[in-house]
Amino acid sequence: MEEAGAMQTLEPAARDRSLPARLLGLGARPSNVSTPTGRQRTARQASLRRGLIAVVAVFAVWEIAVRVFEPSTVIIVGPSSIAQSFGDLIVSGELLKHFTVSMTQFALGYLLAVVIAIPLGLFMGASRRAHDYGDPWLTALYATPSVALAPLFVVWLGFGDVAHVAIIALVAFFPVIINTIDGVHAVERDLREVGIAFRANRREVFARIDLPGSLPYIFTGLRLALARALVGVVVADLFGAQAGLGYLILTSSQLFQTGKVFVGVIVLAALGVGFTWGLRSLQKRLTPWQVEVKGQS
């Protein structure tokens, strides 16, 4: 009887395996961790509806205000005029040209920043010596305005895509590496002690505890870097660009074509929303224990 009681006591604990055990591969992950419940799906649909209603309401109020007060078209235009400019740019093929150039530079610069920043951030976070040597340089470069360094990239790399990719990579680099370092430092000591207790070597502790534990911080850095990289697209186009969304915004503002200016701004904003949503979806898949903890809290 005592043995049966002990087994009943242990069963709930076995079913509710802790995060360290799952990270170390000591227990199978519950099958329903990453599967959204009906309530979660309903909440997501309601959140999406509220977001769409907010967007439509703002554009509706904007259009009504423009038609009522009739401000100068040099200052602001309504959504209907922006839509007309959007259609004209699509028909002429101008928007596609600028979009293709900017997205190519954005993708190359962002990926370059991520490929360098994440491994370097993990190394600096795991190694005290590497952090001590690299932190002063990281702090100094992060405090330096990227716009001040952009002309140097143009001087070094010339007027072309290479310089623009380097500028975008520079502005996206720091959010990723800083959050990656903080993520490694934020992993609780208890988790590492659990790994050592289960005879995990240093490499296994890093691969199964430090890296998964820092993933939420890394994804935060990736989302912040997305916004900065899109800003970098515009900044890069200020220096010798012949095409691009930043170039479209700059030249349209100089010609007082306010509708085209808003087209470039709205396209960049929409890209930011779409990319951020994609990263959040990927984060939910790669960090299912976060979903479980939030669901239990």
> What is the C-alpha separation between 197 and 217, in angstroms, rounded?
26
Looking at per-residue confidence, does 21 or 193 come out higher? 193
Handedness of CA 25, 30, 33, 35 (dihedral sign): positive
* Mean pLDDT confidence for 184-209: 74
* Mean pLDDT confidence for 229-238: 88
* Mean pLDDT confidence for 219-242: 89
pLDDT band with cut points at 50, 70 and 90 for residue 194: confident
pLDDT computed for residue 43 by the predictor: 77
* Mean pLDDT confidence for 105-124: 94
* Mean pLDDT confidence for 24-31: 44
Write out the CATH class of domain 101-259+267-296: mainly alpha
Domain extent listing, the chain: 101-259+267-296
pLDDT computed for residue 235 by the predictor: 87
pLDDT band with cut points at 50, 70 and 90 for residue 264: very high
pLDDT computed for residue 73 by the predictor: 82
* Mean pLDDT confidence for 149-161: 82
pLDDT at 5 over 60: no
* Mean pLDDT confidence for 194-217: 77
* Mean pLDDT confidence for 77-82: 90
pLDDT band with cut points at 50, 70 and 90 for residue 283: confident
pLDDT tens sequence across 40-54:
678 778 888 888 898
* Mean pLDDT confidence for 262-268: 93
Mean pLDDT of the chain: 81
* Mean pLDDT confidence for 125-136: 88
The secondary structure of the chain as a DSSP string is -HHHHHHHHHHHHHHS--HHHHHTTSSPPPTTSSS--HHHHHHHHHHHHHHHHHHHHHHHHHHHHHHHH---TTT---HHHHHHHHHHHHHHTHHHHHHHHHHHHHHHHHHHHHHHHHHHHHHHHH-HHHHHHHHHHHHHHHHS-HHHHHHHHHHHH-SSHHHHHHHHHHHHHHHHHHHHHHHHHHS-HHHHHHHHHTT--HHHHIIIIIHHHHHHHHHHHHHHHHHHHHHHHHHHHTTT-SSSHHHHHHHHHHTT-HHHHHHHHHHHHHHHHHHHHHHHHHHHHH-HHHHHHHHH-
Residue 28 is given by DSSP the state P
User: Which amino acid, residue 82?
Assistant: I
